Amino acid sequence: MSLTSKTGLKTILATCLVAAAGAAHAQLNVLVTGVGATQFPIATANFANETSAPQQISTIVRQDLQRSGKFTNIDAGSAPVSETDQVDLGAWKSKGADAFVAGSVNHLPNGQYEVRFKLYDTVKGQSLGGLVLVSPESGLRMSAHKVADYIYQQLMGARGVFATRLSYVIKTGGRYQLQISDSDGQDAHIALSSPEPIISPAWSPDGTKVAYVSFEKKKPIVYVHDLPTGRRVIVSDQKGNNSAPAWSPDGHTLAVALSRTGNTQIFAVNADGTGLRRLSQGPSIDTEPTYSPDGQWIYFTSDRGGQPQIYKMPAQGESAGAAQRVTFTGNYNTSPRVSPDGKLLAYISRVGGAFKLYVQDLQSGTATGLTDTTHDESPSFAANGQYILYATQVNGRGVLAAVSTDGRTRQVLSVQGGSVREPSWGPFMQ
């Protein structure tokens, strides 16, 4: 193993341990920069009575569908249409809409809001069902995202991710903020604020907790943060660096990268901080672990072959089976993430001095670059596996971006006047 290769991976580790971003506490702005090969034409009417609600449900639904890159919104006019109204589906079809959405919003006596809607197939002239959603005022945006998810699943045949959440790190002045937002960057709130960096947030499988690394005690320590209560527990505060937490699919275990034995190695620890055990073995630097969706494997970055590459080992560790190299395209590959269906591997590859997001078919080994940016990092799959969230730079400023796994649809999520990094896309919510 050459000094150059080990120094290269140490640079990655150092970057991971000190990276954080600068920006004011603000909503993320979303810019869609590409669309799918084909788009489904749909008309979403203004919902009856929604002007009396603090959130315009139909507007959020249209924005969600447009942002996905898979739909084109047909003008439905300004007149509201309720889910109980008689709808001339042939007329909507003649206007170019292959689907039509109608609904209503009602303020209930107990102060909550009821959202009702129906989805219609105008080509077949039939109803595709709908939902009745009840929430407090604070849940209206999420109700709208659930409407869009229903439409997406009925028309695209895959579960939508509009009702999932994002986490990311923003720096405001001298303080670092771990923020949680809707998938469109709206309704953001601060989960943790600290004068020291916060990095590597990772969602628990049930979406109620986030593990992350905080430097608030002047060294990197891994915490698990319960979002509903705000309570935190220290999961790993070993000698040296504690970094890169990753949840097992059952939510009981975290894989972490620790330097307690010298060179950074992969360990597993119970979610309550007990039961620490070493998984990778040897003199190499092993870091950035992530579990396969079936929990059988841990993928990780290692310089054991000279330059950083992606490997996988049994989840029980190398004592249960030797690690296997996974990436062979390019000589510098890091930051592995496996798609929810276990078929794709997202990672960052250094290409001619640029760092780009790649996706590899794990069966065929075929690797494809997805971006035209040069400072990509921290990939994270959407829960439906159809999009990848990552951090990059646009005009010298840190932004979040999302790209479909076929590379056709791209979004940029930015904060006005600042930078944002360390993204993680949350799971489906129950």
Q: What is the pLDDT of residues 88-135, one digit of tens each?
A: 999 999 999 999 999 999 999 999 999 999 999 999 999 999 999 999
Contacts of 149 by beta carbon, 8 Å cutoff, 6+ apart: 159, 160, 161, 162, 163
Task: Label residue 28 by pLDDT band (50, 70, 90).
Answer: low
pLDDT, residue 4, reads 36
Give mean pLDDT, residues 258-280: 96
- Enter the CATH code of domain 3-31+162-425: 2.120.10.30
Please, is 394 exposed, middle or buried when counting C-beta atoms within 10 Å of its C-beta (0-12, 13-18, 19+)? Answer: middle
Distance CA 287, CA 219 (A): 17
Question: What are the contacts of 121-124 at 24+ separation with CB within 8 A?
Answer: 121/89, 122/89, 122/90, 122/92, 122/93, 122/97, 122/98, 123/93, 123/98
Amino acid at 57: I
Strands 232-236 and 221-226: what pairing? Answer: antiparallel
Residue 430 burial (C-beta neighbours within 10 Å; 0-12, 13-18, 19+): exposed
C-alpha to C-alpha distances, 170 to 102, 193, 305, 338, nearest whole angstrom: 38, 10, 35, 25
- Split at pLDDT 50, 70, 90, the class of 416 is low
Residue 418 has pLDDT above 70, yes or no: no
Half-sphere exposure of 176 (CA within 13 A, CB side): 22
CATH topology of domain 38-156: Rossmann fold (3.40.50)
Average pLDDT over residues 409-430: 84
* Start-end of H helices in 21-110: 57-67, 89-94
Model pLDDT, residue 175 = 83
| Those residues with Cβ within 8 angstroms of residue 91's Cβ, 6 or more apart along the chain or in another chain | none
pLDDT digits (tens, 9 = 90+) for 169-198: 987 777 889 999 999 989 999 999 999 999
Cβ neighbours of 334 (radius 10 Å): 25
CB atoms within 10 A of CB 227: 18
The CA distance from 81 to 182, in Å, is: 27
Pairing of strands 397-404, 387-394: antiparallel
- pLDDT for res 411: 87
For residues 127-147, average pLDDT: 97
Q: Does the pLDDT of residue 395 top 50, yes or no?
A: yes
pLDDT tens for 49-81 read 999 999 999 999 999 999 998 999 999 999 999
How much is the average pLDDT of 407-416? Answer: 82
Q: Would you list the domain boundaries of the chain? A: 3-31+162-425, 38-156
